[in-house]
């Protein structure tokens, strides 16, 4: 039965490319409970568990629900995030819509509306500066050279490149559009992938204020923040693990690396936010989390950052706060294990020991 469904989906995709049927006439595949949780209910599969995470075969990735061609294997890259990553889509096959969290951009199949994942820009992983972060469970794969490759792999990229797969001499995307209609559709979608953005100047800040899950969750929502990572800073052991840090043998603090655009947001604004999302008066703890890895500390990367941090601490002490925050030069920052990254966003929950309190 599964083989029959796969055959029907491939045949349907081919007919769409030939213009014989429209998208509504393609029979959607039945989904398992795990697939429905992601594709219909917009859940997220656990990182590093998907079958296409480290998959490197040549071919085309298609929508698990309707079979529409979405991504080429040549546009896939290893982002280290735990989910398949692509820096381009096939034609107008993927739509962008605001995520309900008000922060991210969700991506869905343009034909059937299946939830795929999220898209991020400005991270610098590839020259296209775009990362489509896709759940494996939302995808199927058509190997290169198979009978369905022409239907699946045709169509222009968002940048207007002509597709490699052709049917009756005309390039086609998975949604049955000719190159001219693909380009017109792509022009109407503000994906930002049609031309490269001008390089922007970035700056890096490092903050430690208790459990790095909560600090990252709140810092990354600030306008002008481009990228955040959680990790370990201020210790003496190379490449520490979470277990080693928790055993208090490495001297590291749980810290957050914040890459930001100084044209949009100043370091002082971010440092103020840092002091307002944790309690800077607590020593070697933050709320219920106790230990030297939960200390309050700023790791500066320039004399200007150091001066700003010390100025803000002086202001707070002038207001009566017994600030315990240390200010030290930034050393080596070790990125934490992947299951710690974007922890609350992936779980769809909120921090339990970090909240905003106005102090300035």
Q: DSSP letter string over 206-249?
A: EEEES-HHHHHHHHTTSTTEEEEEEEEES-SSSS--HHHHHTT-
Residue 80: predicted pLDDT: 84
Confidence at 239, pLDDT banded by 50, 70, 90: very high
Confidence of residue 47 (pLDDT cuts 50, 70, 90): confident
CA distance 105 to 85: 15
**Torsion, Cα of 220, 222, 227, 230 (10° steps):** -30
Task: Specify the CATH number for 203-347; select among 3.40.50.10490, 3.30.1060.10, 3.20.20.80, 1.10.260.30.
Answer: 3.30.1060.10
Q: What is the pTM of this model?
A: 0.48
- Report d(CA 60, CA 144) in Å as an integer: 7
Domain boundaries of the chain, sorted by first residue: 2-188, 203-347
Least-confidence region, from 79-88, 121-130, 197-206, 213-222:
197-206
Please state which CATH number belongs to domain 2-188: 2.170.150.20
Region 178-197: what's the mean pLDDT? Answer: 36
**Buried b vs exposed e over 21-45: b needs ≥16 C-beta within 10 Å?**
eebeebebbebeeebebbbeebebb
> Among candidates 354, 336, 221, which has minimal Cα distance to 288?
354
pLDDT at 29: 73
Specify whether the CB–CB gap between 97 and 112 falls below 8 A.
no
Indicate the range of 3-12, 96-105, 295-304 predicted with least confidence: 3-12
Question: pLDDT tens digit string along 103-147?
Answer: 789 999 998 999 999 999 888 889 999 999 999 999 999 998 765
Mean pLDDT, rounded, for 4-24: 41
Tally Cβ neighbours within 10 Å of residue 332. Answer: 12
Residue 82 pLDDT class (50, 70, 90 cuts): confident
Given pLDDT bands bounded at 50, 70 and 90, which one contains residue 191? Answer: very low
Q: What pLDDT shows up at residue 200?
A: 59
Q: Has residue 45 got a pLDDT over 50?
A: yes
Annotated catalytic residue, options 66, 109, 133, 246: 133
268 vs 169, residue with greater confidence: 268
Distance CA 224, CA 155 (A): 35
Catalytic residue among 53, 109, 211, 246: 211
Percent of the chain with pLDDT over 90: 58
Calculate mean pLDDT across residues 46-56: 90
Q: Note the pLDDT tens digit of each residue in 242-286.
A: 999 999 999 999 999 999 999 999 999 999 999 999 999 999 999
- Angular region, 34: left φ>0, alpha ψ -120 to 50, beta rest: alpha
What is the C-alpha radius of gyration for the chain, rounded to an integer number of angstroms?
24
Structure tokens belonging to residue 243 = 């277990």
Identify the sign of the CA torsion 189, 191, 194, 199.
positive
How many whole angstroms from its chain centre is CA 213?
16
Quick check: 175 pLDDT over 80? no
The count of residues in the chain is: 360
What does the alpha-carbon distance between residue 268 and residue 271 come to, in Å, rounded to a whole number? 5
Give the range among 74-83, 194-203, 322-331 with minimum mean pLDDT.
194-203
Cβ contacts of 313 within 8 Å, gap of 6 or more = 280, 323, 325, 327
63 annotated active-site: no
Verify whether residue 211 is a known catalytic residue: yes
CA distances from 314 to 279, 321, 323 (A): 15, 9, 9
């Amino acid at each position: 039965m599964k083989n029959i469904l796969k055959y029907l989906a491939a045949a349907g995709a081919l007919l769409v490319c030939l213009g014989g049927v429209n998208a509504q006439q393609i029979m959607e595949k039945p989904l398992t409970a795990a697939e429905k949780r992601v594709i219909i209910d917009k859940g997220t599969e656990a990182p590093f568990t998907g079958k296409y995470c480290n998959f490197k075969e040549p071919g085309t990735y298609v929508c698990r629900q309707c079979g529409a061609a979405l991504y080429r294997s040549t546009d896939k890259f290893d982002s280290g995030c735990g989910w398949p990553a692509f820096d381009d889509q096939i034609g107008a096959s993927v739509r962008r819509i605001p995520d309900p969290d008000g922060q991210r951009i969700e991506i869905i199949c343009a034909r059937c509306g299946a939830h795929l994942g999220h898209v991020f820009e400005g991270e610098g992983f590839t020259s296209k500066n775009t990362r489509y972060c896709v759940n494996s469970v939302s995808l199927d794969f058509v190997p290169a050279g198979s009978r369905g490759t022409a239907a699946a792999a045709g169509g222009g990229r968002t940048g207007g490149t002509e597709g490699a797969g052709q049917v009756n001499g005309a390039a086609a995307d998975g949604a049955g559009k000719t190159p001219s209609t693909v380009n017109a559709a792509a022009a109407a979608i503000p994906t930002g992938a049609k031309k490269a953005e001008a390089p922007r100047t970035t700056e890096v800040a490092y903050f430690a204020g208790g459990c790095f899950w909560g600090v990252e969750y709140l810092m990354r929502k600030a306008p002008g923040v481009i990228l955040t990572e959680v990790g370990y800073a201020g210790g003496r052991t190379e490449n520490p693990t979470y277990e080693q840090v928790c055993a208090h043998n490495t001297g590291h603090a749980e810290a957050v690396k914040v890459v930001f655009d100084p044209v949009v947001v100043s370091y002082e604004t971010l440092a103020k936010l840092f002091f307002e999302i944790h309690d800077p008066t607590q020593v070697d703890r933050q709320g219920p989390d106790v230990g030297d890895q939960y200390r309050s500390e700023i790791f500066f990367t320039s004399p200007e950052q150091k001066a700003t941090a010390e100025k803000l601490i002086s202001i707070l002490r002038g207001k009566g706060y017994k600030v315990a925050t240390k200010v030290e030069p930034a050393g080596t920052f070790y990125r934490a294990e992947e299951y710690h990254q974007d922890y609350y966003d992936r779980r769809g929950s909120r921090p339990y020991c970090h909240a905003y309190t106005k102090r300035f």
